[in-house]
Amino acid sequence: MKISIYPTPDDMSKAAADLVAAQLAEKPTSLIVFPSGSSPTGMLQYLVQYAKEGKADFSQCTIIGLDEWVGMDERDYGSCKHYLHTNFFNLLDFDPERVAMFDAKAEDLEAECARMNSFISSHGGLDVMIVGIGMNAHLGLNEPGTPFDLYAHVSELAPITVEVGQKYFQQATVLTQGITLGLQHLTEAKMAVLIASGENKAGIIAESLQGHISTDVPASILQNMSHARILLDAGAAAKLEHAS
Rounded percentage of the chain residues whose pLDDT exceeds 70: 99
Dist CA 160 CA 135 (whole Å): 7
Say yes or no to pLDDT of 244 above 80: no
CATH number of residue 187's parent domain: 3.40.50.1360
pLDDT tens for each residue of 83-103: 999 999 999 989 999 999 999
Q: What is the mean pLDDT of the chain?
A: 95
User: What element of type H or E holds 46?
Assistant: helix 41-53
**Residue 241 is assigned to a structural domain of this protein:** no
Rounded to two decimals, what is the model's pTM?
0.95
Q: Is pLDDT at 243 greater than 70 in this prediction?
A: no
Do residues 185 and 126 lie in contact, with contact meaning Cβ atoms separated by under 8 Å? yes
In a domain, 242, yes or no: no
Q: What are the tens digits of pLDDT across the range 6-37?
A: 999 999 999 999 999 999 999 999 999 999 98
Among candidates 52, 48, 38, which has minimal Cα distance to 14? 48
Interacting residues of 188 by C-beta distance below 8 A, sequence separation 6+:
125, 126
**Residues with catalytic annotation?**
67, 136, 138, 143
Model pLDDT, residue 68:
95
User: Does 242 score more than 80 pLDDT?
Assistant: no
Q: Which domain holds residue 184?
A: 2-233
Number of domains in the chain: 1
Predicted local confidence at residue 5, as pLDDT: 97
pLDDT tens profile 105-157: 999 999 999 999 999 999 999 999 999 999 999 999 999 999 999 999 999 99
Alpha helices in 123-235 (DSSP H): 159-165, 183-188, 202-210
> Residues 40, 132: contact at Cβ < 8 Å?
yes
Is there a domain that residue 193 lies in?
yes
Nearest in space to 19 (alpha carbons), one of 27, 39, 89: 27
244, part of any domain: no
